[in-house]
């Protein structure tokens, strides 16, 4: 009897243990696993706020200069100052972000124009876009020469992106025989920059006229003319 009783006790203990294991499993299953999408959503939200700040800063800098109050930028972006300083601890960080965004927009415009226009026309239109870039970024350009380390990578970034975009347009125009061969993209880039600073850079119409002459010169030696106006 004692053995049988002991066996019953052991069975009961085993049953209790199994029940405890099941309850533990139920509790674990009831606990929500970490939402893997949460960090992603937070990153997306942070990215939107950062983009809003860069866009707002671009607009404010265009009207009020790079020394505009940071609160004006934050208000325009619809965020608090804390959020702004979390993304851009220093004004120079924000200026660098604006410059990089503007460089990207100018470079990306090359492929957009190439899809929409004939090669010679696309090149000419993009050179006018580049002219506007140089003409409207003087305040930002002055900030870049301040020696702030936040700007240290921008010159190289500008040259890589803009030079590559210009090279593709030139290659297409040369292949279409609307621009003479042998045009060096970097030479052309700095030629446009120099023309935009003629007469102290205060007359956009003058810069446009000079770029017109430059574009006409690119056509010299090509087998057929191209319209660019």
> Where are the chain's structural domains?
39-89, 96-229
39-89 and 96-229 agree in CATH topology: no
Identify the pLDDT of residue 133: 87
Burial classification of residue 94, based on how many CB atoms lie within 10 Å of its CB (0-12 exposed, 13-18 middle, 19 or more buried): buried
pTM summary value = 0.73
Task: Give the pLDDT confidence score for residue 202 in this predicted structure.
Answer: 57
pLDDT at 209: 87
Closest CA to 54 of 99, 5, 9, 108: 99
CATH 1.10.10.60 holds for 39-89: yes
DSSP for 125-177 reads: HHHHHHHHHHHH-HHHHHHHTT--GGGTTHHHHHHHHHHHHHHHHHHHHHHTT
pLDDT at 159: 93
Render each residue's pLDDT in the chain as its tens digit; 229 residues: 444 455 444 544 554 455 554 444 444 444 444 444 444 555 888 889 999 999 999 999 988 888 899 999 999 999 999 999 999 999 999 999 999 999 999 999 999 999 999 999 999 999 999 998 887 776 667 777 778 888 889 889 999 999 999 999 999 999 999 999 999 999 999 999 888 775 554 566 788 888 889 999 998 877 655 454 4
Q: What are the Cα distances from residue 94, in Å, to 74, 132, 146, 216?
A: 11, 21, 15, 38
Residue 175, both tokens? 């292949």
Could you count the other beta carbons within 10 Å of the beta carbon of residue 108? 12
pLDDT in tens, 126-159: 999 999 888 777 666 777 777 888 888 988 999 9
pLDDT at position 208 is 84
| Domain 96-229: homologous superfamily in CATH | Tetracycline Repressor, domain 2 (1.10.357.10)
Give the pLDDT of residue 200: 54
């Amino acid at each position: 009897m004692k053995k049988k009783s002991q066996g019953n006790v052991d069975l009961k203990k085993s049953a209790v243990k199994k029940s405890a294991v099941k309850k533990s499993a139920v509790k674990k299953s009831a606990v929500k696993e970490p939402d893997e999408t949460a960090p992603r959503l937070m990153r997306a939200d942070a990215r939107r706020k950062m983009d809003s700040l860069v866009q707002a800063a671009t607009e404010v800098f265009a009207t009020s200069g790079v020394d505009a109050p940071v609160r004006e930028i934050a208000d325009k972006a619809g965020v608090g100052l804390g959020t702004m300083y979390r993304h851009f601890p220093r004004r120079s960080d924000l200026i660098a972000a604006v410059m990089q965004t503007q460089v990207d927009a100018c470079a990306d415009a090359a492929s957009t124009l190439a899809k929409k226009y004939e090669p010679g026309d696309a090149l000419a239109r993009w050179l006018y876009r580049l002219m506007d870039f140089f003409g409207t970024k003087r305040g930002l350009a002055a900030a870049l020469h301040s020696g702030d380390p936040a700007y240290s990578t921008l010159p190289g970034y500008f040259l890589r992106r803009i030079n590559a975009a210009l090279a593709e347009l030139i290659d297409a125009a040369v292949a279409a025989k609307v621009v003479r061969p042998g045009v060096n993209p970097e030479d052309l880039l700095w030629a446009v920059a120099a023309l935009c600073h003629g007469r102290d850079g205060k007359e956009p119409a003058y810069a446009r006229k000079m770029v017109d002459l430059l574009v006409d010169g690119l056509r010299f030696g090509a087998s057929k003319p191209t319209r660019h106006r």
